[in-house]
Structure 1
Amino acid sequence: MSKRKKQLLRYVLKKRYIPSQNRRRVGQNLILLTVFIFFIFLINFAIIIGTDKKFGVDLSEGARRVHQTEITVQAKRGTIYDRTGVPIAKDSTTYTLYAIIDKEYVSALQEVLYVEASQFSRVAQILNKHLGLEMDYVMQQLNQPKLKQVYFGTLGKNISYSKMTEIQKEMEAAGIKGIAFNTNPGRLYPNGNFASSFIGLANLVEDDKDGSQSLQGQRGMEYALNSVLAGQDGKIVYEKDSRGRIVPGTENVKEASVDGQDVYTTISAVLQRSLETNMDVFFGKTNGKYANATLVSAKTGEILATTQRPTYNPDTKEGIDDKDILQRSLLYQENFEPGSTMKVMTVAAAIDNGTFAPNEYYNRSEIKIADATIRDWDVNAEEIFAPMTLTYAQGFALSSNVGMTILEQKMGDERWLDYLSKFRFGYPTRFGMSGEEAGLLPEDNVVSVAMTSFGQGILATQTQMLRSFSAIANNGVMLEPKFITGLYDSNTDSVRLAQTEVVGKPVSEKAAADTRQYMIGVGTDPTFGTLRGSGGPVIQVDGYDIAVKSGTAQIGKEDGTGYLEGPNDTINSVVAMIPAENPEFIMYVTVQQPESWSIAFWKDIINPTLKEAMLLKDSLNLTTPAPALTSVTKETKYKLDNIIGQQPGVTASNLRQQLVQPIILGNGAEIKKVSVEVGSNLSANQQILLLTDRFTIVPDMYGWTKENMDIFADWTGIEVEYTGNGSRVVGQNVPIGKDLEKTKKIKINLGD
């Protein structure tokens, strides 16, 4: 025996016990093991009780999944109406098509319930006929191996009830089984192509957390007002039996659904349909790249109709993905150089400044500004349209760049830039839509500033132009563009109704009225009027004088190196105000890069639209916001969030969506103070001040409430002296734009 084996044997025999001792020893070990396991159990039990988790798993949640199920209750998305209650966008049920191709899908009687291979071609024909699906694509989907059912992409979704029933009937007639539909909440746009780029779209979006689907705004008003329209989905918990089936009567409302608010827009359905028809004629003749037309109430700033081309049908989705369709709104999401329609503001500013002498002559051959030479459009084209010597009134009718430049030089660059600031160029309107461009003031050089007098070297949006035109049409008082006339909350049967919002007075009443008179000459002057054709004024409505101005602007290259030079590389535009003496409506139309052009084309879109607007003027109820809501007396509450530190522009836009009227003080990046207490209820049309972290110049206070003037005085330490009776500011003795730190006292005239 080896040495190691002997050592092992001695060790074993050394601790040898008799059988009774061995049994006792095993028993003791078992008791110790049992106690140890018991303590482990207690510790785990304590952990489970204390944390409700084991191995990172929520035990209560797991139990709920076994014995309960949670169902999302879709909130009703708010309806979008026109100003009188005609639905523009409303909730509906849509259908998604799918085909069952599982060959094991048969009935108890062995009846085939799937699409058979021999029927694929017929299915493709039917879907091509009703949905526009390519037959090759349908065949490819149906022939996919190892799948039980197949879907058919975008065109197979959002199908209307009528279209669904048509497909069902034709499939049944052909003896085809296995074609089925899922129901989905959808959005119906009953008017088809109807301010499509402005109203926008709402589509189904899947929640990443629970897989439920809900309608979410994707563009336009549907996107901008999504928080207003969407509401809040609810949650209901049901008990399940041992087989996983819902037990009736066990529902428990975890979260109640809150329906979205209905939005009553400022749009008139009648005028919108008319504008769509007229735009089709106009755009068909010009064959431009893009076109836009907007009709506004001159006395309220309300957008009554607006459309752009090319466009799409939000109901059928036809054209929505067309590469030629601009996926942005020309109204507020596109900067452009406005061209000669800017001369309306130039003349108004010169009149207001006292430097416009209508009967004074000037030579229009050319004018040199630094190293640049400015010439008139007909001189540049080498087709002299009129004499080289004109009065300034004639020069305006002729749309003379030289004449406007001389007027700007007489005012001086600093003074002209002050007027541009008064007209709020360079500042977005923040009228409540998302993705709005801000425009751009001219570069800091004499040539760029001079060019802005005839609409080049400056960028603007159409809403900015409309805001400025409102001051000319409304006797110097500038109005905020509006597209909401009322908000209705069905959950509380309450409403918020909009009123006109004044945002300044850049020129005097006389300057605005005189400018409109000179604008009449643009269409009526037989010698110099650029909007007078061989048969008389191009833009005319029987019985009314119309103040008009046309513009033809160059288009800047994307790389900023100059302008496009093609024969059609222009943006042609017209503004019209009717009646000129006391305008009710403003219309602004633009067309970019028209392949065919004549000034006579303007009459195809402007004349019938203005004529219908004047005929309908009394029935539009422009003085009554949302007539359909007049019976609702309770006002919806809106509590002000903590906006301190937030961006002033975004905040102002959000406030206007709730029909609050914000005034931004300064051009800082964040809000420093607000004139009302955070968390307080804000009434509809309540005017509030938002003080930014950079406030250095005296603002235009026209239209401010006396209460806000007092707050301004408290914030700045400036002494305010009041004269006159009334509750609103109608005059101030300190010029707009003066250094705030050098201002110690302001005299304010109050009126109504």
Structure 2
Amino acid sequence: MGEVGLTRTRKMRSLVVGMIFVVFLAAVVVRLFWIQTVDASFLRDRAEKTWEQNEVIKPERGMITDRNGKTLVEETDAYIIAADLSQVKNPKQTAEKLAPLMKMPKEVIYNRLTKKDVDQVELRDGGHFKMSRKTKNRIMNLDLDGIYAIRTSDRNYLEGKLAAHVLGFVNEAGKAAGGVEHQYDKLLRGKAGALRFKQDAYGNKVPNGTEKFHPPDQGKDLVLTLDSRIQYQVERILDRVTAQHRAKGATAIVADPRTGEVLAMANRPSFNPDQYRTTWKAGSNDTNTAVSSQYEPGSTFKIVTLAAAIEEGKFDPDKRFQSGSIEVGEKTIRDWNDWGWGEISYAEGIYLSSNVAFVRLAEKLGAEKLIRYIERFGFGRITEQTGQPTGIDLPAEGRGYFFGHEPLHELELASTAFGQGIAVTPIQQVMAVSAIANGGTLYRPHVLKEVLEPDSDRAIKKVKPYKIRSGVVSPQTARQVRELLRGVVVQGTGKKADVPGYPVAGKTGTAQKPKTDGQGYASGQYMVSFIGFSPADNPRVVVYVAVDEPQDSSHGGTVAAPAAREIIKDSLRLMGVKSRSSNGKKEKRTDTDPSAAIAGDWVKKSVDEVKEKLKETDIQVEVLGGGKEVSAQYPTPGAQITHGRVYLLTESSKSVSMPDLRGKSLREAMDLCRLLELNPQVDGEGYVDSQSIPPGDRIMDKKEIQLRLQSDPPS
């Protein structure tokens, strides 16, 4: 190649290189132009996101107090213990030192400290990972390499298990579970805030940089209708009752009948929301029985039948009927003591809780009217499958279970009249009886009283009494029912509920529990209860107590009524209601022997044990038969021992000797005859003058006994 050709080649190369450079420069210019114009806003936003830091500011959860301002629940500082794995030098030794303080297995901590492919870990065992300030300080004092604390918050339930089912709890993850915590979670938790600021390449905040701050909306404080003083007494009494009677469970409600406010609500078994990890057991103690559980009410439901009969003009307190049993269709319905009390008045039938009396009242009312009044009292229509909830502001309220068809069968109407064959909740019963106590208004129950601004006494919401229905019954009917229920406590099955100075009106209940397969009733398994109010003529509280499967008694009058008495007495005293005995007023009583003792439930107890219990009294024990264990008794459990003598049957009536009935009233003589399975044939009125089976003779195969009476008792 010549000189000319070499020169030309060099020029071509220079030209190509120049053109490449020009094209590259042009591309750079075009890209710069594009970035500065078209992509400018996008890239600016992207850069600012790199420079800016966003922090979420967690709101403080609201506190919960009782009606008197006593703090029940509050938010407190807590700490999460974490580890920088790059700095932890001896994981095994670190785990051994942390385990006792954190109350976690050392193996769990060690596994966290040796975790692969992560730089930092939180030391937790399932849901357990928040530590108190005291525990955090003890851990930090160990000066362990790589271990540090992250500040957070925790829920503190200051009174332990007090009102656990009403309050609920908040778990480690911040999720509300049960009770008020769940029901009013949105109010309590508030709304998170945010802080946005610029930072440099090292993550430090840029001085004088712009900031955007949105403060959190702190959770609201709640004031409940509960009175913690009454709540404490209720829980103490339930603890004693369940232990004394070795019961499966118990529940109690105290409410103000004038407003629907719940003053106390407790269940056993229970848990401690402050230690829910170890005390809360799903399917065991997690249910608020007072609101959620549905079971046959038994005789406490008779109040509804009574009120309906009075309102419809079907109740004559002085009219008499034959107690003991009644035929309904092809079935015989008996009184709770199996043999009744002879011919008695309807008022006496109420006092003695005669099933026969209420079946007869239901027949007089008819199905349509009874169904209507049950609905008016807030239970719903029993021709539907489920009932009507009260609307209480607590989660998981039950509705009740009914028959689910129309028309009702004759036997269904009869059983409903005395509280059998249907299932309702305790809170439904409390509100129904409150309508009797307050003169005829059905209220919606509630546990929230006020909503307050945090750290302030300013109320942003006050809960007013909510009337579901006025005129459930007339004030006159309500007054008459109250008077009759007062008679139940003075003269009938509820004597053990009465409180000196605070006259109590109410009704006992004993309901046999259905079998789990729904086929009939379980033997020896009862739900016993009492519902009542005081003072009887101007009620301030309605109290409901139910005890599940007490082991030593199956009568509401001997188990639930005494517990209700203590709750009523403590509640009214704490509310500042003056005792009638303290202001010189004494209530006129209609029973002839107000100081008479009440018969306990001695069936299946040893004779020696009963004698031992009664030896400190003036009561005489007459044993019928030569057995060692009581098979039947007179008076029946919960009845008054009016003549200072009890009879204990220990063998078949064929084997025992005839007791002396001379001088006894007709009713007492008839009760003893039925205890001995004898059919009494009566001649005359008044008191027994002679008997066809002489005292001391064996009864053997005799089925009847002739009783001759005279008008005056023997001198």
Alignment of 1:65-76 (within 5 A): 65-76=49-60
Shift of 1:137: 5.4
Please say if 1:567 is aligned against 2:524: yes
How far apart, in 2, do the equivalents of 1:177 and 1:243 lie?
24
- Tell me which of 273, 289, 306 is aligned to 1:330: 289
Cα deviation, residue 230, structure 1: 1.7
Structure 1: which amino acid aligns with 2:131? I
Give, in angstroms, the shift of residue 198 of structure 1.
0.7
Q: Deviations over 1:340-375 (max 9, x none)?
A: 211111111111111112222223443344454433
Equivalent residue, structure 2, for 1:416? 370
Q: For the Cα contact (< 8 Å) 1:334–1:437, is it kept in 2?
A: yes
Residues 17-45 of structure 1, C-alpha deviation per residue, up to 9 Å, x if partnerless? Answer: 99989998999999899989988998898
- Inter-partner Cα distance in structure 2 for 1:392 and 1:250: 87
SS in 2 for 1:305: strand
Corresponding residue of 2:322: 363
Whole-angstrom CA distance in 2 between matches of 1:136 and 1:277: 41
1:507 is matched with which residue: 473, 478, 486?
Answer: 473
Q: Give the conservation status (yes or no) of the 8 Å contact 1:124–1:139.
A: no
Residue 131 (structure 2) pairs with residue 159 (structure 1): yes
**Are positions 1:278 and 2:243 aligned together?**
no
Give the counterpart letter for 1:544 in structure 2.
Y
TM-superposed deviation, 1:222: 0.8
Report 1:39-438 matches (<5 A). 48=39, 52=42, 62-98=46-82, 102=85, 105=87, 117-118=92-93, 120-121=95-96, 123-127=98-102, 131=103, 133=104, 151-154=123-126, 156-165=128-137, 167-168=138-139, 172=142, 180-205=148-173, 215-248=174-207, 250=209, 252-317=211-276, 319-323=278-282, 325-379=284-338, 384=339, 386-425=340-379, 426-438=387-399
Specify the alignment match of 2:493 in structure 1. Answer: 530
Amino acid at match of 2:493: T
Asked if 1 retains the 8 angstrom alpha-carbon contact of 2:92 and 2:110, the reply is no
State which of 430, 451, 460 in structure 2 corresponds to 1:495.
460
Using the TM superposition, give the Cα deviation of residue 464 of structure 1 relative to its aligned residue in structure 2, in angstroms: 1.6
Measured in 1, the distance between the counterparts of 2:159 and 2:332 equals: 51
**Whole-Å Cα distance in 2 between the matches of residues 434 and 193 of structure 1?**
19
| CA distance in 2 between partners of 1:255 and 1:145 (Å) | 38
Task: Single out whichever of 30-39 and 504-513 deviates more from structure 2.
Answer: 30-39
Q: Is the 8 A contact 1:281 1:604 kept in 2?
A: no
Q: Once the 2 structures are TM-superposed, how far is the Cα of residue 236 of structure 1 from its aligned partner?
A: 0.9
**2:151 partner amino acid:** T
Partner of 2:563: 605
Q: Deviations over 1:320-347 (max 9, x none)?
A: 4335633232222232222221111111
Change (3 A) 1:603 1:549: closer
- Counterpart Cα distance in 1 of 2:577 and 2:206: 56
Paired residue for 2:404?
Answer: 443
Verify the 8 A CA contact 1:89 1:187 in the aligned structure 2: yes
How far 1:47 sits from its partner (Å)? Answer: 7.0
Structure-2 residue corresponding to 1:464: 428
CA contact (8 A) 1:523 1:538 kept: yes
The code of the aligned residue for 1:86 comes to K
> Partner residue of 1:482?
446
CA–CA distance in structure 2, aligned partners of residues 178 and 32 of structure 1: 56
1:408 positional shift: 1.1
Once the two structures are superposed, residues 545-593 of structure 1 have per-residue CA deviations (whole angstroms, 9 ceiling, x without a partner) of 211212122334565x33451422x322211211111111111112223
Label 1:553 to 1:604 Cα distance change in 2 as closer, same or farther (>3 A). Answer: closer
AA matched with 2:430 = L
1:134 is displaced (CA, Å) by 5.1
Counterpart of 1:377 in 2: which secondary structure? coil
Gaps of 5+ in 2: 1-7, 380-386, 579-715
What is the distance in 2 between the residues matched to 1:494 and 1:613? 27
Normalised by the size of structure 2, how large is the TM-score?
Answer: 0.69
Q: SS of the counterpart of 1:476?
A: coil
What SS class does the counterpart of residue 316 from structure 1 fall into? helix
The question of whether the paired residues in 1 share the 8 Å contact of 2:108 and 2:125 is answered with no
Whether the aligned pair in 2 keeps the contact of 1:240 and 1:246 (CA below 8 Å) is: yes
- Provide closer, same or farther for how the CA distance between residues 433 and 47 of structure 1 changes in structure 2, counting only shifts above 3 A: farther
SS of structure 1 residue aligned to 2:506: strand
1:197 is displaced (CA, Å) by 0.8
Q: CA deviation at 1:126?
A: 4.6
**Which deviates further from its counterpart, 191-200 or 145-154?**
145-154
**SS where residue 315 of structure 1 aligns?**
helix
1:537-686 counterparts in 2 under 5 A?
Answer: 537-557=495-515, 561-568=518-525, 570-597=526-553, 599-602=557-560, 605-618=563-576
Deviations 1:597-649 (A, max 9, x none): 365443663233221222122389xxxxxxxxxxxxxxxxxxxxxxxxxxxxx
CA contact (8 A) 2:176 2:185 kept: yes
How far the C-alpha of 1:506 sits from its partner, in A, is 1.0
Contact 1:466 1:481 in 2 (8 A): no
**Aligned amino acid, residue 117 of structure 1:** K
Q: Report the Cα offset of residue 488 of structure 1.
A: 1.4
For residues 429-478 of structure 1, give each alpha carbon's deviation from its aligned partner in whole angstroms, at most 9, with x where no partner exists.
22322332222443322233332222223232222211111111111222
* Inter-partner Cα distance in structure 1 for 2:293 and 2:391: 14
SS at match of 1:307: strand
Instruction: Indicate the SS of the match to 2:394.
Output: coil
8 Å Cα contact 1:311/1:319 also seen in 2:
no
> Are 2:404 and 1:453 aligned?
no
Distance between the aligned counterparts of 1:507 and 1:268, measured in 2?
30
Q: Which amino acid aligns with 1:530?
A: T
Q: SS in structure 2 opposite 1:524?
A: helix
Between 1:196-205 and 1:175-184, the stretch displaced more is 175-184
Say which is worse superposed, 510-519 or 134-143, in terms of deviation.
134-143
**Alpha-carbon distance, 1:264 to partner:** 0.9
Distance 1:250 1:114 in 2: 40
What is the aligned partner in structure 2 of residue 661 from structure 1? none
- Shift of the 140–25 alpha-carbon distance from structure 1 to 2, 3 Å rule, reads closer
Secondary structure of 2:231 counterpart? helix
Aligned match of 2:604:
none
Q: Which amino acid aligns with 2:502?
A: Y
Cα RMSD after superposing both structures: 3.6
Cα distance change of structure 1 residues 414 and 490 upon mapping to structure 2, 3 Å threshold: same
Gaps of 5+ in 1: 1-16, 53-58, 106-112, 206-214, 532-536, 621-752
Distance of aligned partners of 1:21 and 1:246 in 2 relative to their CA distance in 1, 3 Å threshold: closer
In the TM superposition, what is the alpha-carbon distance from 1:405 to its structure 2 partner?
Answer: 1.8
Rounded Cα–Cα distance in structure 2 between residues aligned with 1:46 and 1:335: 72
- Number of corresponding residues: 556
Write the distance in 2 (CA, Å) between the matches of 1:285 and 1:179: 51
In structure 2, the partner of 1:664 is none
Report the Cα offset of residue 116 of structure 1: 5.8
Moved more, 400-409 or 370-379: 370-379
2: CA distance, partners of 1:308 / 1:30: 88
Q: Distance in 1 between matches of 2:363 and 2:243?
A: 41
**Structure 1 residue 518 and structure 2 residue 474: aligned?**
no
